[in-house]
Chain A
Amino acid sequence: MLDIRGVTKSYGTRQVLSDVSFTVGDGRMTGFVGANGAGKTTTMRIILGVLSPDSGTVLIDGVPVTASDRRRFGYMPEERGLYPKMKVAEQLVYLARLHGLSPASARRNTTNLLEQLGLGERAGDTVESLSLGNQQRAQIAAALVHDPEFLVLDEPFSGLDPLAVEVVMSVLAGYAAQGAPVLFSSHQLDIVERLCNDLVIIAEGEIRANGSGEALRDQHGRPRYEIRTAGNISWIRSQPGITVVDFDGDYAEFDAETDAASQAVLQHAITLGAVHTFSQQRPSLATIFKEVIA
């Protein structure tokens, strides 16, 4: 379990993180969401020890993380980069060895990972000769080549084609399934929504919301309902505590002030005839995000 506690960081007079605290649980895919400049990258750099915080700590299972612990992290920096003139496989072996692997296991991991990511045939090519998408895959391989026990990935999906997104998603999910805490940031909220167990939303250097996706949906965004009946449903406008958002003869989408108000709509509809659909819409992540950072 990875614990970020009370992390604060300023650059000169500009405070970029204030009292940032959240947890990345074992085996939990945790999405880190925020606008540009909200402090995601700084937070990730601090977790990796690339930057030091002004105050606050990063804990692994309750113990402050040490330099040697950090070698068990897999890290993908925001702006991509590997040595352009170095061969892909050589580069991965080098990074694995810097993380403390023996030459033999560094080579074995490199071969396996390149196969898994569909880069096996490009192992001997220099990074600069790869297409952008393949460079991105190589970058992901660089984060994973030393069999990390924690993953911290800054925008792992940006620049990937849909096929590669699927490959990377399954690789990451595989890591989480083995019990690794996985933290990744992304602007692609639909991917975060599909992939994540937990969410951390940051804005202006402060954590605005954090918890499981379900919990956040319950906390944020008033539930919205839709109903489709056999007859005309214009009577719904006069129901107490109901605000109609969308209306089309036998169909309505509405917000209810209370659960009781929405149930009253359903009961009244049943007395009038058949009800084809009555459902509560879960707010999308995009909705929650907008509400939380507003």
Chain B
Amino acid sequence: MSNATRPLHTAPTFAQGVWLVSNREIAARLRSKSFLIATGILLFISMGSVIVGSIMSQNTSLTKVAVVGTAISVVEQTQAFDIVEASSAEDAEALVRDGTVDAAVVPSTNPASLLGITVIALDSAPGEVLGALSVNPELAILEPAEQDGFLAYLVAIGFGIIFLMSATTFGATIAQSVVEEKQTRIVEILLSTISVRALLAGKVLGNSLMAFAQIVSIGLLVSIGLAVTGQRVLLADVGPAIVWFAVFFAFGFVLLAALYAATASMVSRQEDVGSATSPVLFLVMIPYFMVVFFNDNPLVLAIMSYVPFSAPVGMPVRIFLGQAEWWEPVLSLVVLALSTMVVILIGSRIYSNALLRMGSRVSLREALHK
């Protein structure tokens, strides 16, 4: 029919449809209090861990030792101790007993003693004191580790936690919003205007942008924090790993988002979202636990850094540890991007087959074949 007063319906293109849907997703997230609070907590924890790390690294005070007589020259050579002079071996012992010092160093009464000193401790051998006073053989390390083990552990866990938290919060958000549309049947109106793929792409894009923005702001905050608290050396080491983490996260999250959307589309009620998406949650937890347990195992890390689900954590950790050649993150990224494409194809198939089936849960076989 024709009517001059009607506005023209210029059909939105695929891209416009995706854009409109993703904008709505972003607006909905920004309006949700739970999202803002969760983001705030994540930023707070990241910032807090940088500050705590900085305080801890500044408080490495020297070990206090009581020193008697001639032993002082030996102890001073090491420059590793806070020296408290004591008048006699008995005084030094008393200081050890009341905890004023960690150990005492007194001239040896044994003439055969190589160093001519005796170390007195309260209840166990003071490793640090013995180590500093011992004569060490010459040491040659063939392949020096680039990073201190404990620091590597912290960085690995840091990436693991951020990945886990971001992926699960945004994954759950996507899953809920898919079921919300299905449950309220607004999906029928949406699908009468745009294609299933445009709807899925818009949802994945909108939520991925938000997740990515969250990751980037955490990365920036941590970098700024490290710079401000004078941990520039650490920043120089972690910086490239953070950048790669952001890049890997961008792809890895799109993959997870597609999986979350597809699995959620198989159920019709919010109550069932949890059980439907639990396989995906499992996939997200794997990289976290792997990195916690195997961050000192180069082989496991190497495998992790190529498996699509764990690559966003595994590869940045290896880059930080200096275990990765320059081409490895590129190759792993290609693997991740290809698997993301495959998952999106399968996911959109499940999504479009399951989206209009109400009632009981759609089985995976039905969703893939019908």
Contact = CB atoms under 8 A, between A and B. Distances in A.
To the question of whether A and B form a pair in one complex, the answer is yes
B20 interface: yes
Interface stretch (B54-62, B106-114, B182-190, B218-226): B182-190
A286 interface: no
A146 B8 CA distance: 10
Contact of B188 (A48, A71, A109): A48
Interface string B13-55: 0000100110010001001100000000000000000000000
Given A81-B183, A81-B185, A98-B193, A71 B1 contact: no
Contacts of A94: 20, 24
A83 B32 CA distance: 13
B9 interface: yes
Nearest to B19: A97
Interface string A33-63: 0000000000001001111000000000000
B9 A50 contact: no
Given A45-B356, A77-B189, A178-B3, A99 B9 contact: yes
Interface of A: 26, 45, 48-51, 67-68, 70-73, 75, 77-86, 94-95, 97-102, 105, 109, 142-143, 146-147, 149, 178-180
B191 A50 contact: yes
A173 to B, nearest CB: 16
A78 B358 CA distance: 12
Contacts of A102: 7
Interface of B: 1, 3, 6-12, 17, 20-21, 24, 28, 31-32, 180-181, 183-186, 188-195, 356
Nearest to B24: A94
Contacts of A77: 185-186, 188-189
Contacts of B9: 68, 71-72, 99-101, 146
A70 B184 contact: no
Contacts of B7: 101-102, 105, 109, 147
A99 B6 CA distance: 13
7 smallest CB-CB distances across A and B, nearest first, come from: A81-B184, A68-B11, A81-B185, A77-B188, A48-B192, A179-B1, A98-B193
Nearest to B188: A77
29 contacts: A45-B188, A48-B188, A49-B191, A49-B192, A50-B188, A50-B191, A70-B193, A71-B9, A71-B193, A77-B185, A77-B186, A77-B188, A81-B181, A81-B183, A82-B186, A83-B186, A85-B28, A95-B189, A95-B193, A98-B21, A98-B193, A98-B194, A99-B9, A100-B9, A101-B9, A147-B6, A147-B7, A149-B6, A178-B1
A50 B180 contact: no
A78 B188 CA distance: 10
A67 B197 CA distance: 13
Contact of A79 (B12, B24, B180, B185): B185
Nearest to A82: B186
Given A81-B184, A86-B28, A67 B11 contact: yes
A39 to B, nearest CB: 15
Tell which of B7, B8, B17, B21 has the most Cβ of chain A within 10 Å: B7
A149 B7 CA distance: 11
A198 to B, nearest CB: 17
Given A100-B12, A149-B6, A84 B184 contact: yes
Contacts of B12: 71, 97-98, 100
Contact of B190 (A84, A98, A101): A98
A146 B194 CA distance: 14
Contacts of B1: 26, 149, 178-180
A156 B194 CA distance: 23
Given A45-B188, A50-B191, A83-B28, 14 more contacts: A50-B188, A50-B356, A68-B11, A70-B193, A71-B9, A79-B185, A83-B181, A85-B28, A86-B28, A95-B189, A99-B9, A100-B12, A149-B1, A179-B1
Contacts of A147: 6-7
A79 B1 CA distance: 29
B11 A100 contact: yes
Nearest to B1: A179
Contacts of B17: 98
A58 B156 CA distance: 58
Nearest to A84: B184
Contact of B186 (A26, A68, A81, A101): A81
Given A50-B191, A180-B1, A100 B184 contact: no
A81 B185 CA distance: 5
A100 B20 CA distance: 10
A75 B180 contact: no
Tell which of B21, B185, B356 has the most Cβ of chain A within 10 Å: B185
A127 to B, nearest CB: 9
Given A149-B1, A149-B6, A85 B31 contact: yes
A66 B269 CA distance: 32
Contacts of B180: 83-84
B13 to A, nearest CB: 10
Contacts of B185: 77-81
Contacts of A84: 180, 184
A67 to B, nearest CB: 7
Contacts of A79: 185
A89 to B, nearest CB: 13
Contacts of A68: 9, 11
Nearest to A51: B356
A78 B186 CA distance: 10
Tell which of B3, B9, B188, B192 has the most Cβ of chain A within 10 Å: B192
Nearest to A77: B188
Contacts of A49: 191-192
Contacts of B31: 85
B192 A100 contact: no
B149 to A, nearest CB: 48
A72 B10 CA distance: 10
Contact of A100 (B10, B21, B189): B10
Contact of A82 (B8, B32, B184, B192): B184
A149 B8 CA distance: 11
